[in-house]
Amino acid sequence: MKNIYLPQSAKIAAIKDLSHNVKLFRLKLRQNPPLKNGLCFVPGQFALIGVWGYGEAPFGIASSPWENKYAEVIVRRVGTLTSQLHRMRAGDEITFRGPYGRGFPLEFFQGKDLIMVTGGCGIPPIASLIEYIIKNRELFNEVYLLYGAAAPQDILLKDKIKQWEKKIKVILTVDQPDKNWRGHVGMVSGLISYIQVDPQNTAVAMCGPGPMTRALENILKPLGISDRRIFVSEERRMQCGIGKCQHCTSGEKYVCLDGPVFNFDEIDQNWD
């Protein structure tokens, strides 16, 4: 992409319902000349998706960084823009800016046990990271995904989870089980007790709300996993993507420029 700060036209190639209020959008970027190798990004980076007249908002890129034909984002219906996106159909066009920000430290993760933790709609950057890991599975030791949702019907990317389970260990939990649920019940932080890792050679990748990441840090640190080995994808309502609008500040950090992925000790004492 020649200029990541200019909105580019993107065609909605496909839409998939993931839950009652969450949809996956498969996008094809209309570049001239076309992108030969697809969208180049690092798992953990984000894009700004917009609809003329309705606004623009940040979304983590959920597709594989190896995919060269399309990019995928996951959209939960919560406001004006996302409601309009949910009304759109395959073939419609939207705008795309990015990718922006700092992604996960892929080289640092290599040769280590890796724990990935997320909840609800925090799955997109983690999904992209998992796709990267599976493509390079021999470079990583034990790999875990700990994923929590409000209820079984709120678990996203169920088809992909079935594929991931062939290569990594996946542990799911829900807050409100139904009569058919046979998995864990409770907070995702409680799943740590079900895995065994070498704390001196373990890294953690998280994406989710502040209370979740704080609760996990309080569990991981006593196990011997230092904050320098814990990486958090911060959730903020970023608007400009270039550190000008002030909407994404976290202490002295700009999430859009310095993140969205941070070492936990970079943001541990930040105020919002």
pLDDT digits over 187-206, tens only?
Answer: 888 898 888 888 889 999 99
Is pLDDT larger for residue 30 or for residue 90? 90
pLDDT digits over 58-98, tens only?
Answer: 999 999 998 888 999 999 999 999 999 999 999 999 999 98
The answer to whether 5 touches 242, Cβ cutoff 8 Å, is yes
Which stretch of DSSP H or E encloses residue 203? strand 202-207
Look up residue 35 and give its DSSP letter: P
pLDDT of 220 above 90: no
146, with CB counted inside 10 A (0-12, 13-18, 19+), is buried
pLDDT of 117 above 70: yes
Looking at residue 270, its pLDDT comes to: 60
Looking at residue 33, its pLDDT comes to: 47
Q: What's the mean per-residue pLDDT of the chain?
A: 87
For residue 226, give Cα distances in angstroms to 201, 204, 265: 10, 10, 9
Domains, the chain, in order of start with CATH, read 8-100 (2.40.30.10), 106-233 (3.40.50.80)
